Amino acid sequence: MATLDQKSPNVLLQSLCCRITGKSEAEVAHQFQYAVRVIGSNYAPTIERDEFLVSEKIKKELLKQRREADAALFSELHRKLQTQGVLKHRWSVLYLLLSLSEDPRKPSSRVGNYGALFAQALPRDAHSTPFYCTRPQSLALSYGERSAGLSGSVGTSGISSLGVYTLNGPTPTPQPLLAGQPPQPAGGGGQPLGSRLAWTLPVSSSPSSTLVPPAARPPLGPPVPAARVVRPRRDGDPAGEVNEAALVRDILYVFQGIDGKFIKMSAQDNCYKIDSKVVLCKSLRDTSSRLAELGWLHNKVRKYTDARSLDRAFGLVGQSFCASLHQELKEYYRLLSVLHSQLQVEDDQGVTVCTESSLTLRRLLVWMYDPKVRLKTLAALVDFCQGRKGGELASAVHAYGKTGDPQMRALVQHILSLVSHPILNFLYRWIYDGELEDTYHEFFVASDPNVKTDRLWHDKYSLRKSMIPSFITMDQARKVLLIGKSINFLHQVCHDRTPPGKITAASKSADTPKDAAELLSDLEGAFQEKIDAAYFDTSKYLLDVLNRNYLLLEHLQAMRRYLLLGQGDFIRHLMDLLKPELVRPATTLYQHNLTGILETAVRATNAQYDNAEILKRLDVRLLEVSPGDTGWDVFSLDYHVDGPISTVFTRECMGHYLRVFNFLWRAKRMEYTLTDIWKGQMCNAKLLKTMPELSGVLHQCHILASEMVHFIHQMQYYITFEVLECSWDELWNKVRQAQDLDHIIAAHEVFLDTIISRCLLDNNSRSLLNQLRAIFDQIIEFQSAQDSLYRSALEELSLRLQYEEKKRQREEEGQWGVTAEQEAEEKKRIQEFRETIPKMRSQLRILTHFYQSIVQQFLVLLMTSSDESLRFLSFRLDFNEHYRAREPRLRASIGATRGRQLSNI
């Protein structure tokens, strides 16, 4: 009593009533009602909340009564009260005391006729206590207001499918009609209760019958104890037939998945069954078992949501699915509560006979038809979505939306919009910020945290095929992947710190969830547009950064110029400088010497005007040395790639470049060698005219050399113009038109593949390449053979000239030019030399023969090749049909290929 504990105002009021009237709680019910009403309706005080004013008023009052001493005493007491500070609302207490004060001199005015006051019915306050309504901060709302708020929100947000149905559906579902609302006359148009339930509700005209103490109102949800459920009217004949009202009550519990008195869950049959002991006519039994299906469906959905909503690993998509199911269930519960209250009203009226407006099983059957269809859909959905999560779940829901039934479609669409919301959130976060906040692996873009940044573009992100929702096409999904990947690439590899907002203009208007729901349902085009715009902007930005800051295109051109020998003057000069180094055995080569030579070559040629960034990356590389290799075999140019451009020029790509370079370098070397051979022939031709015995062998040399020059020229032409330039042009065009980095990478790979296969470096043309290598080897051999021929010839020539010179000198000195001995010696030497000539000739003949047979073999292989350009090469190599005349297989194969072509036509 002394402590000011926070009891509910109601309890306090009630005890006050008891105290003042001196009666028990039951007797003061009317007074209590009244008190509650008065206090509730006068919540806001009309007077000033000022303690000082009130205390002054009290003093004045006391003075008026001529009690100065009391006034002084009051001041003293008031001061004491102020110092204590236990009370917060001192003015309020004081005001109360003041207004209760009575002048002791006046006669008591307490007697009056107030009996009528409480006899008055207070219909408006009979059920809902306004006191509650007006003090929301300390007390729960009355049910009436709460549900009104709910139904209001249903109407405005349009989320709930029930709300949609009541607006559009052909059979309006009963509106929430609550016991707390005032009973309306049947035709009362003021309330928007035009639903069927509204006018079937009984009109409770006598206010006294609706007067129920608030505490006795049945709560919703858990069943009221059986004592309340079973009304006396039913207890009359327990052994006899169960009446319909009892069944209806039972059914209402079954709807919520709670066992009723007669209808119980049967575990073995997994359905609700009417107790077999209950005597019941067949039609009622049938109807109620049909209604009981709702309970079963409800349980199914409920079980799913209960199991899943606690499961964190189920993910956000799953959670929103559960939430949407919950929403639907809530609508269902609301309907049940309406039915309950209807039943309550009937009971309170004490209706014993079934009037035409009471609840019957048949009526329930009709009213519950729509909810049943909805619950069925939900249950089917739950079944179908079992074990799915993330995008898969959304696909499953989407699949259910493809139905002709507009109501069902609306329901599924609604659920889908909720379910896809998290997915779209992921999506927008990904395409606008490049962030992947997918803790539960629900989104269709997967990230592999183990991948380092150098493989970020190729390996880090991938599509989870199963998680792509069916409303997003594969193409869109790929673009989405690419957009986010580009952003991440920019951030992590290019270290580009541009805020994502600047890359894409569209991200400014980043979507509100509402947009997201709409995007899915109807405006597919807008969604596509959004993705396209983001894709376009991001990719363009990425390419700009790569080209501007990382010189991607310049590097591409550098590859062409240096590794693919596009810069002719540089390559030629380099070869000139390298020649003395490279003829030495490979083991004696040192990289630093070669690097020095490379730099000299760069400085001396047009390469010096190239970008320093590019020249910095150019380097020499020595391949693995195998015994017997010369420098020519192991030398290679190299180009260092790192940072962002290594995404395009990957390790494999560089490997390919090295192989191609090797091939081209070899072919180039042949050209170079043949130039040397020709130079030797031209220089020595005049000198050796004095030795007529050599003319035959020299002629042979010339013929073979021309044959080789022709071959190599045609080869070089083919490589340069038909392989490199064509592919390069194609690549360049593609790169120019590329929209994203993937296009460039793909074009580049196509380019390399083409070159590799056309240069006979792939597996299919291994035999061709072997022949070509053999031809190259023959050329080298021929060079050495010719060199030795010229060496011995020139040696012989100089010896002869020496001999002649000596002879002339002696003659001038007046001696004999030659002695017989010397002459014999000279003749013998000449004879010996002459004898070596046939040997040379035969060696050359063997060489020629060998060479020609290899070329013929090569031509045969070219003929049978599937590549058109290679067949054309064979025509070019054998234009005058020189080889064809010698090789029967060539004739046959040409005929064969022609025949094949004809048959193809």
* Site residues for other proteins per CB under 8 A: 1-7, 9, 12-13, 15-17, 19-23, 31, 34-35, 38-39, 41-47, 58, 61-62, 70, 73-74, 77-78, 80-81, 84, 86-89, 92-104, 110-115, 117-118, 135, 138
Residue with structure tokens 């592919």? 727
**Angle, helix 651-687 to helix 695-717, in steps of 10 degrees:** 150
3-state secondary structure of 619: strand
Q: Of 108 and 880, which has the nearer Cβ to other proteins?
A: 108
Count of residues in the chain? 905
| Smallest gap from residue 53 Cβ to other proteins (A) | 13
Distance of CA 883 to the CA centre of its chain: 62
| Smallest gap from residue 3 Cβ to other proteins (A) | 6
| Smallest gap from residue 15 Cβ to other proteins (A) | 6
Residue with structure tokens 């708020």? 149
Q: Of 80 and 402, which has the nearer Cβ to other proteins?
A: 80
Q: Of 4 and 353, which has the nearer Cβ to other proteins?
A: 4
- What's the rounded Cα separation, in Å, for the pair 714 and 731? 24
Q: Of 49 and 514, which has the nearer Cβ to other proteins?
A: 49
| Smallest gap from residue 132 Cβ to other proteins (A) | 13
Q: Of 109 and 626, which has the nearer Cβ to other proteins?
A: 109
Q: Of 39 and 446, which has the nearer Cβ to other proteins?
A: 39
| Smallest gap from residue 74 Cβ to other proteins (A) | 6
| Smallest gap from residue 13 Cβ to other proteins (A) | 7
Q: Of 59 and 372, which has the nearer Cβ to other proteins?
A: 59
| Smallest gap from residue 66 Cβ to other proteins (A) | 14
In this structure, what are the phi and psi dihedrals at residue 585, rounded to the nearest 5 degrees? -60, 150
| Smallest gap from residue 95 Cβ to other proteins (A) | 4
- What's the rounded Cα separation, in Å, for the pair 298 and 255? 7
| Smallest gap from residue 63 Cβ to other proteins (A) | 13
| Smallest gap from residue 8 Cβ to other proteins (A) | 9
| Smallest gap from residue 238 Cβ to other proteins (A) | 45
Could you give the C-alpha distances from 411 to 164, 373, 594, in angstroms and in order? 9, 11, 77
| Smallest gap from residue 182 Cβ to other proteins (A) | 24
| Smallest gap from residue 358 Cβ to other proteins (A) | 39
| Smallest gap from residue 146 Cβ to other proteins (A) | 22
Could you give the C-alpha distances from 870 to 181, 484, 507, 728, 866, in angstroms and in order? 94, 44, 53, 18, 8
Q: Of 73 and 505, which has the nearer Cβ to other proteins?
A: 73
In this structure, what are the phi and psi dihedrals at residue 861, rounded to the nearest 5 degrees? -65, -40
Q: Of 82 and 466, which has the nearer Cβ to other proteins?
A: 82
| Smallest gap from residue 206 Cβ to other proteins (A) | 24
Element (H, E) at 576: helix 568-582
Q: Of 19 and 362, which has the nearer Cβ to other proteins?
A: 19
The Cα angle at residue 137 between residues 135 and 141, in degrees rounded to 5: 65
Radius of gyration of the chain from its Cα atoms, rounded to whole angstroms: 52
In this structure, what are the phi and psi dihedrals at residue 653, rounded to the nearest 5 degrees? -60, -45
Widest distance between CA atoms in the chain: 188
Q: Of 118 and 732, which has the nearer Cβ to other proteins?
A: 118
- The type of residue at 389 is K
- What's the rounded Cα separation, in Å, for the pair 430 and 452? 20
CB-based contacts of 209: which residues, under 8 Å, 6+ apart?
348, 349, 350
- What's the rounded Cα separation, in Å, for the pair 806 and 817? 8
| Count of Cβ atoms closer than 10 Å to residue 98 Cβ | 13
Could you give the C-alpha distances from 654 to 553, 618, 647, 667, 732, in angstroms and in order? 16, 13, 11, 20, 18
Q: Of 116 and 239, which has the nearer Cβ to other proteins?
A: 116
Q: Of 110 and 508, which has the nearer Cβ to other proteins?
A: 110
- What's the rounded Cα separation, in Å, for the pair 235 and 233? 6
Q: Of 99 and 168, which has the nearer Cβ to other proteins?
A: 99
- What's the rounded Cα separation, in Å, for the pair 683 and 797? 14
| Smallest gap from residue 140 Cβ to other proteins (A) | 16
- What's the rounded Cα separation, in Å, for the pair 150 and 153? 5
| Count of Cβ atoms closer than 10 Å to residue 799 Cβ | 14
> How does DSSP classify residue 511?
P
Burial of 214 from C-beta contacts in 10 A (0-12 / 13-18 / 19+): middle
- What's the rounded Cα separation, in Å, for the pair 368 and 292? 11
| Smallest gap from residue 43 Cβ to other proteins (A) | 6
**Token pair for residue 154?**
């249903």
- What's the rounded Cα separation, in Å, for the pair 164 and 171? 12
- What's the rounded Cα separation, in Å, for the pair 253 and 273? 13
- What's the rounded Cα separation, in Å, for the pair 90 and 88? 6
In this structure, what are the phi and psi dihedrals at residue 314, rounded to the nearest 5 degrees? -70, -20
Contact of 629 with 585, CB cutoff 8 Å: yes
Q: Of 74 and 732, which has the nearer Cβ to other proteins?
A: 74
Q: Of 13 and 278, which has the nearer Cβ to other proteins?
A: 13
Element (H, E) at 274: strand 271-274
Q: Of 41 and 788, which has the nearer Cβ to other proteins?
A: 41
**Token pair for residue 381?**
């959905």
- What's the rounded Cα separation, in Å, for the pair 538 and 90? 68
